Amino acid sequence: MNLEELNKKYLLLSPEDRIHELYKDFGKVLFTSSFGTTSAFLLHLFHKVKPNETIYFLDTTYHFNETIEYKENLTQLLNLKVIDVKPEVWKNNFTNQDRTWNSDPDLCCSINKVEPIEKIKVNFDVWVSGLMTSQTTHRQNLKVFELKEDIVKFYPLIDQNEKIAKEYIAQHNLPQHPLLSQGYSSVGCFHCTVAGKGRSGRWVNKSKTECGLHL
């Protein structure tokens, strides 16, 4: 089945049914999570459909302590199998000394996020992400499946939004990200995140809106 046919078929399905179908249509699934403010939605859906699936967490070394605590909390609660993916130490040290998030945030994201995932994604057939069209202009035109360079991306939440995610998290008694109650609607690295609605608190005063993982 080509991507156009897959998109037609999956568009009509609920996020949970999309995940069920994914395991019929694809082999090795790469599931990354940022353990951000809406992540519990997709983590819980996968937990229902495929409880043993490995979750890859990109540990840039610049996460808020609250994100690490939240990750540990959800891991314990849902009995998740989480693997941390880290950047090369010397390159990460360079970004720390150079404060690259200020001078060249694209390079910083490339070193600390994109390169580490590039190394493992060759082992997979499809890469799952919780992107929603409602989040940024770039994401508005995404479909359930997209071909990105050499891997198929799968966005089961593409037609959902933050409100739906928060309602799902509340209905299922899942914990909220601790920074949500402090006004952070979206949480990334502490160098590049302030409180704000939607993604307005990410890379403030910079033209950047995406880390590069999904571009």
Phi then psi for residue 196, to 5 deg, are 170, 160
Which of 31, 35, 41, 62 binds ligand SF4 (CB under 6 A)? It is 62
Measured distance CA(42)–CA(52) in Å, rounded: 14
Please indicate whether residue 211 is annotated as part of the active site.
yes
Count of residues of this chain found to bind ligand SF4 when the rule CB under 6 A is applied: 13
192 binds ligand SF4 (CB under 6 A): yes
Binding mask 77-106 for ligand SF4 (x = CB under 6 A): ------------------------x---x-
Closest to ligand SF4 by CB, 84 or 167: 84
Q: Are strands 54-58 and 145-148 parallel, antiparallel or unpaired?
A: unpaired
C-alpha distances in angstroms, 4 versus 69, 74, 147?
40, 35, 11
Measured distance CA(107)–CA(36) in Å, rounded: 22
Which of 47, 113, 153, 177 binds ligand SF4 (CB under 6 A)? It is 113
Q: Give the H or E element holding residue 148.
A: strand 145-148
158 binds ligand SF4 (CB under 6 A): no
36 binds ligand SF4 (CB under 6 A): no
Judge residue 53's burial from the number of C-beta atoms within 10 Å of its C-beta, 0-12 exposed, 13-18 middle, 19 or more buried. Answer: middle
Grouping H, G, I as helix, E, B as strand and the rest as coil, residue 152 is strand
Smallest distance, ligand SF4 to C-beta of residue 204, A: 11
Pair 18, 157: CB distance under 8 Å: no
DSSP string, 12-36: TS-HHHHHHHHHHH-SSEEEE----
Which of 20, 50, 91, 191 binds ligand SF4 (CB under 6 A)? It is 191
Which of 109, 126, 144, 165 binds ligand SF4 (CB under 6 A)? It is 109
Smallest distance, ligand SF4 to C-beta of residue 83, A: 19
Write out the residues near ligand SF4 by the rule CB under 6 A: 60, 62, 101, 105, 108-109, 112-113, 188-189, 191-192, 211
Q: Just list the catalytic residues.
A: 211
